[in-house]
Structure 1
């Protein structure tokens, strides 16, 4: 990675960013604005991440083959929909033009001891989107315990995840360095090409740098790229743009 300055970190983080709008009040104007913001003078974000109902609009706005990929969420944010409903939600999103699916595991069932529920959900959605990138959200802030986070990571990887992702951003505790460390070690130990996505609460280039350096320590200097690492964030782009334009950062690292 060999990043030495905040500007270099910002440029790298831009290429790894899933620019997100999953606000309850999101509307069509906000989606048009998100598509515009994802295309900066310094390059594009890796993807936008939006509600399924806006995928078709974003596909028209961006066009086929656009470098900004379209990610959407399913079984989100509660994780408690029936498998059949999530499969239909996934198939609809793919028909509308989604490139990537961010799936919430049934984490409440998992916490109750039902590991099979995780395997069944991830496997079914994997089958429903064989050509899409599947990011599996563990909701680590609710799992809390390190052994549970590790086991959920293993189950998601075994069932066909392309990425494992920390959080929905909708609970009180979202991405943390502690959870990232556990998940990255599970990826390393799997010996599979699985990506990692911290999401929720990453708002500054300094925050992003902490996660990049952790990933580099565990996975190696050449591992991090858009196919293996994403940031899920809504406000990080503002700080990236400030760093790239030479403006001062508005906030210090939050120390997640």
Structure 2
């Protein structure tokens, strides 16, 4: 049974990592982001922000249930394993609930696959439960579907909690084609791993397309905050507009 636009919008809000990773982000922007994450139709799953803003966000979101995600090795996906592990530990100390790690995808493309895997394993070891590791594969730079599948399998095997398409900082970010490959990898792994499309998710239609792929491989009940997130900054306005349509229609009879 298909969802109405309002049902889809409400579900997507609950799955959203509301994001501000702009280079010029300010404390005022974080205050606005934290407020926006608390919508009249339910809270977003998380916010995703630069590490330096974690303490501020933690104070603002106390008691809301909204998780704080932050990024490490971002956006370039560099090679400093020890540095990224320290970055991760500091973010957790500051109050992050989720770490979005850019894997060193250039190393993978150069044939240095063990190095890529080592970073994921070491960062994973630095993240105690219940904190989560989301691995950013940068699928728009990997390009080839076979390579996207290989990196997905590696991250899943290395015990990532989520595999995520993109940083949102390159020319090609989330695509339905990459999503198909990644969710199929999750389905075939038999592991409890989530999926996060990020970058380019701008409309209710976009959200519905990614959820339809999840439903196809994982079943209609699979996509929930523990297993599926949208990484986006602008889509919330479109989702709220869909919900406002519901409110207007409901008010016509009064």
Both proteins in one fold, TM over 0.5: yes
Distance of 1:204 and 1:134 partners within structure 2: 26
Is the contact between residue 137 and residue 168 of structure 1 (CA under 8 Å) also seen in structure 2? yes
What is the aligned partner in structure 1 of residue 26 from structure 2?
Answer: 27
Q: Could you tell me how far apart the structure 1 residues matched to 2:2 and 2:172 are?
A: 29
Find the aligned partners of 2:188 and 2:206 in 1 and give their Cα distance. 25
Aligned to 1:79: 77
**Contact 1:118/1:156 (<8 A) preserved:** no
Structure 2 distance, partners of 1:197, 1:143, is: 16
1:167-206 alignment, distance < 5 Å: 167-206=166-205
Partner of 1:141: 140
Give the match for residue 113 of structure 1. Answer: 111
Distance 1:223 1:82 in 2: 35
Root-mean-square deviation over aligned CA pairs: 1.0
Contact 1:174–1:200 (CA under 8 A) maintained in structure 2: yes
Q: 1: CA distance between counterparts of 2:25 and 2:2?
A: 35
After superposition, where does 1:83-102 map in structure 2 within 5 Å? 83-102=81-100
C-alpha distance in structure 2 between counterparts of 1:39 and 1:66, whole Å:
8
Number of positions where the alignment pairs a residue of Structure 1 with one of Structure 2: 245
Structure 2 unpaired stretches of 5+ = 247-254
- 1:152 matched to 2:151? The reply is yes
Return 5+ residue gaps in structure 1 as ranges: 248-256
Q: What TM-score do you get using the length of structure 1 for normalisation?
A: 0.94
Q: Deviations over 1:55-81 (max 9, x none)?
A: 111011112x53110000000000014
Contact in 2 for aligned 1:3/1:9 (Cα 8 Å): no
Please state how far the C-alpha of 1:4 moved relative to its aligned partner: 2.2
4+ long deviations beyond 3 Å: none
What is the deviation of 1:115?
A: 1.0
Q: Following TM superposition, by how much is the alpha carbon of 1:137 offset from its aligned partner in structure 2, in angstroms?
A: 0.3
Offset, 1:3: 3.9
1:218 CA drift (Å): 1.0
CA distance in 2, matches of 1:48, 1:169: 15
Deviation at residue 118 of structure 1 after TM alignment: 1.8
- Does the CA-based 8 Å contact 1:168-1:174 persist in structure 2? yes
Which shows bigger deviation, 118-127 or 176-185? Answer: 118-127
SS at match of 2:121: helix
Instruction: Report what 1:233 is aligned to.
Output: 232
| Match of residue 128, structure 1, among 97, 108, 126 | 126
Look up the match of 1:67.
65
- Distance across 1 between alignment mates of 2:134 and 2:116: 13
